[in-house]
Amino acid sequence: MKTILLLLACSLFSVSSFGQSQAQMNQEADAAYRKADQELNRVYQQIFKEYCTQTAFLQSLKTAQKLWVQFRDAEMKARYPATNSLVEYGSFFPVCYSNGMEELTKARTKQLRLWLTGIPEGDMCNGSVKVAGAKK
């Protein structure tokens, strides 16, 4: 009985999860990455608003962000180094690539958000990051 229920559950899951075309899966993965990228850009712009008087910090942040984009692109190239990715990695490659871009972008957004949320008072190594609850 357990086996039948398990098989039934798996078949229902597979029909609902895999009932879409490869193109639809590619589009959904790309949309998820683009959403993450929009959030990263929103956070980045908010930092510029909150720290508008700290020009040295903002210039350093611009440099760091440009280097992060280079890192992100190099990381993805290291994950998928083939010249012809679709041939080498198959038709699911666009989904995998978008998922990787989304993962890296969300991690960077989390790093950047620290400048907006701040760090606890008493952290002696806060540098340019504001103290949580305080305005810089």
Could you list the residue range(s) of the whole structural domain that residue 81 is in? 22-117
> Do the domain assignments include residue 32?
yes
Q: Decide if 30 contacts 93 (C-beta within 8 A).
A: no
How many folded domains does the chain comprise?
Answer: 1
Residue 119 tokens read as: 């760090």
12 pLDDT band, cuts 50/70/90, is very low
pTM, to two decimals: 0.81
Q: Bridge partners of 119? A: 131
Which has the closest alpha carbon to 94: 46, 24, 13, 36? 24
> Do the domain assignments include residue 10?
no
> Do the domain assignments include residue 135?
no
> Do the domain assignments include residue 15?
no
80 pLDDT band, cuts 50/70/90, is very high
What CATH number does residue 26 fall under? Answer: 1.20.1270.180
- Whether residue 14 is predicted with pLDDT greater than 50 in this model: the reply is no
> Do the domain assignments include residue 68?
yes
DSSP label at 99?
H
- The model's pLDDT over 22-69, given as tens digits with 9 standing for 90+, comes to 999 999 999 999 999 999 999 999 999 999 999 999 999 999 999 999
The better pLDDT of the pair 56, 126 is held by 56
DSSP label at 89?
H
> Do the domain assignments include residue 7?
no
